[in-house]
Amino acid sequence: MAYPSFEQYNNAFTAHQQLLSDPELQKGIVTTTGLGTPLAISGGFALTYTIKTGPKKYAVRCFHREAPGLERRYQAIARRLAQLNSPYFLGFQFQPQGIRVDGAPYPIVKMAWAQGVTLGEFLEDNHGKKGALANLPNSLLALSQFLETERLAHGDIQTGNMMVSGTTGAIQLIDYDGMFVEDIRDLGSAELGHINFQHPDRKSKNPFGPTMDRFSLIALWLALKALNEEAGLWDKTQSEMDAIVFRASDYIDPSSSSVFSELMRRPALAKHAQHFAAVCLAPIEKTPSLEDFLAGKNIPAGAVQIGAKPQEGRPKPGYMGAYDVLSGASYEACLRRVGDKVEVVGRIVEVRQAKTTKGKPYIFLNFGLWQGSIFKVSIWSEGLAALSRKPDDSWAGKWISVVGLMEPPYVNKKLKYSHLSVNVTTNGQMTVITEAEAKFRLTPWSTKSAPARSSNQEALGKIKGQQTTARPPSNAPAAPSSPNKNVLDNIRKAQRSVQSQPTAAPSPPSPSPRPAPQPQRPQPQLTQPAYQSSYRRPPEKKGWFERLWDWISK
């Protein structure tokens, strides 16, 4: 089935009291951005919104990409987890008609909010604190033993899907889109997992069974063990929230990996590093359980010469990002990826520090002059509170990488500017890098084994409220331009020329008001939030350019 776009879901959550079917969720309060629009977090197949109902807090997942057998998959997972009643998993309800969007019902997952922070956030904040990570390796081993015993697999074990609470290192798993339970073996895998925690064979073979978490657990355990041995390895290995000690390129060629060489120089880690290198180079089905790995059992045969020079003529692995990497200087490239979780790399041109109309501080890191069509990083008050290092005017000219959900454009017609953004809400989501590192990350690498992503055409379709299924390869030649598209491109160039004229500095945008309920209609008429582009505005309010867009888009 075709699912709603990001903008359509955002519209629906501005009137969640009428459009959600769950009575408890209807009474709750949706978490919003500094603009007053619903705050969404991207997952593999779903956008996750937060709703607070008194002392309770829920994650509400809305699907925007198709997953084979979605309803059957979630119902089977719910049954199995209910039988286990395990602290490793959160209770959830799959609601087949949980939300109405443009008059049609769509499924949601209502999930209790996990306590604590993600493992990635925990490591960002605590990797340098003595003893802070001491309990985590044992927690991972206990989780591994539980999964092996129950013949379960999560499918995407990584720092963003594991919650850590308290000082005991207690772990909970979230995001069950790719989970394996025996009743759905025939459905096959629904995702490929985070590239920095997956075996190099995961993309090509994509197994679906109870052993598919083994590699991820070994990689995380060894990374945590290394950081416990020497906290300085965090900086030496250029670790960050989505890459703990190892990266995908290390798994492809352990013999020439600087990370494996670092671990081999430490007696407490050398044996495990040698065994892990063998696991990386062996077929994925040869991966032992974490318990066997620690005991030195079932390690794939074959010695790996760590520290060897790359073979002559063999290309050096390039940057393998967990998400598609975009240039922050390209507004058009960012526009095509609205609704996707991406990594944006660029140079900060302007730093704007101000307060909203409600007096809350915020910071915008602009990747271009604000008067035009640009990408920016938005850090609202909640994000500022989470950051250990807050940006200031000295950041102008710095190169950064930011990972997050590409928000729809905020368009100010009066001042003639259009801004796309990623909201920073957690520590570690944004990293200051060198210009050389920025260029390295922005250089495509044709062999990177990242999960399949939407094509630009599909992303643009989602912006326009459409759904497509074709996903051409990223290296496919561009389709020839149509006469209509050429006309539209020329008009947009003219508009950008007008937008580049100097204007007065903008005041922070006011939050969009929630639409008033209209009980006389079964489907309320929704007010378009101020941040949105005008693709679906009423015809009588559209200008000539918007009417032309509608005609061309038919």
CB 511 within 8 A of CB 391: no
Nearest to 324 by CA among 251, 401, 257, 252: 401
Please give the Cα distance from 458 to 460 (Å, whole number): 5
Check residue 523 and give its pLDDT.
35
Domain(s) labelled CATH 2.40.50.140 in the chain stretch across 325-444+446-499
> 387's torsion region: left (phi>0), alpha (psi -120 to 50) or beta?
beta
Please give the Cα distance from 279 to 46 (Å, whole number): 32
327: its two tokens: 């240039």
Task: Give the contacts of 464 (CB within 8 A, at least 6 positions apart).
Answer: 5, 535, 553
Please give the Cα distance from 525 to 309 (Å, whole number): 65
Beta strand spans in 358-492 (E): 361-366, 373-379, 399-412, 417-423, 430-433
Residue 101 belongs to what H/E stretch? Answer: strand 92-101
Domain(s) labelled CATH 1.10.510.10 in the chain stretch across 117-295
Tokens 């001491």 map to which residue? 134
Domain(s) labelled CATH 3.30.200 in the chain stretch across 6-112
Nearest to 251 by CA among 215, 221, 210, 297: 215
Residue 30 belongs to what H/E stretch? Answer: strand 29-30
**Residue-level pLDDT, tens digit, the chain, 554 residues:** 789 989 999 999 999 999 999 999 999 999 999 888 999 987 667 899 999 999 999 999 999 877 778 889 999 999 999 999 999 999 899 999 999 999 999 999 999 998 899 999 999 999 999 899 999 999 999 999 999 999 999 999 999 999 998 777 899 999 998 999 999 999 999 889 999 999 999 999 999 999 999 999 999 999 999 999 999 999 999 999 999 999 999 999 999 999 999 999 999 999 999 999 999 999 999 999 999 999 999 999 987 888 766 555 555 667 888 899 999 999 999 999 998 999 999 999 999 999 998 899 999 999 999 999 999 999 999 999 999 899 999 999 999 999 999 999 999 988 889 999 999 999 989 999 999 999 999 986 543 333 333 333 333 333 333 333 333 333 333 333 433 334 334 434 434 443 443 333 333 333 333 333 333 333 333 333 333 333 344 444 444 444 444 444 44
Nearest to 33 by CA among 329, 404, 395: 404
Beta strand spans in 252-337 (E): 325-327
Question: What kind of fold does domain 117-295 have according to CATH?
Answer: Transferase(Phosphotransferase); domain 1 (1.10.510)
Model confidence, pTM: 0.76
Q: Is 168 exposed, middle or buried (0-12, 13-18, 19+ CB in 10 A)?
A: exposed
Q: Which CATH class is domain 325-444+446-499?
A: mainly beta
Beta-bridged to residue 412, according to DSSP, are 417
> 261's torsion region: left (phi>0), alpha (psi -120 to 50) or beta?
alpha
DSSP assignments along 131-155, one per residue: TTTTTHHHHHHHHHHHHHHHT-B-S
Please give the Cα distance from 402 to 21 (Å, whole number): 35
The dihedral through the CA atoms of 42, 406, 339, 354 has a sign that is positive
Please give the Cα distance from 107 to 121 (Å, whole number): 30
Phi then psi dihedrals of residue 396, to 5 deg: -60, 130
550 three-class SS? helix
The dihedral through the CA atoms of 345, 453, 218, 200 has a sign that is negative
DSSP assignments along 499-527, one per residue: HTS--PPPPPPPPPPPPPP-TTSSSPPPP
CB 210 within 8 A of CB 152: yes
Please give the Cα distance from 363 to 323 (Å, whole number): 24
Beta strand spans in 124-216 (E): 162-165, 170-173
Residue 342 belongs to what H/E stretch? Answer: strand 341-347
| Cα end-to-end span (Å), the chain | 21
Which residue type is seen at 529? P
Q: Which CATH class is domain 6-112?
A: alpha beta
DSSP character at residue 5: P
Please give the Cα distance from 454 to 474 (Å, whole number): 9
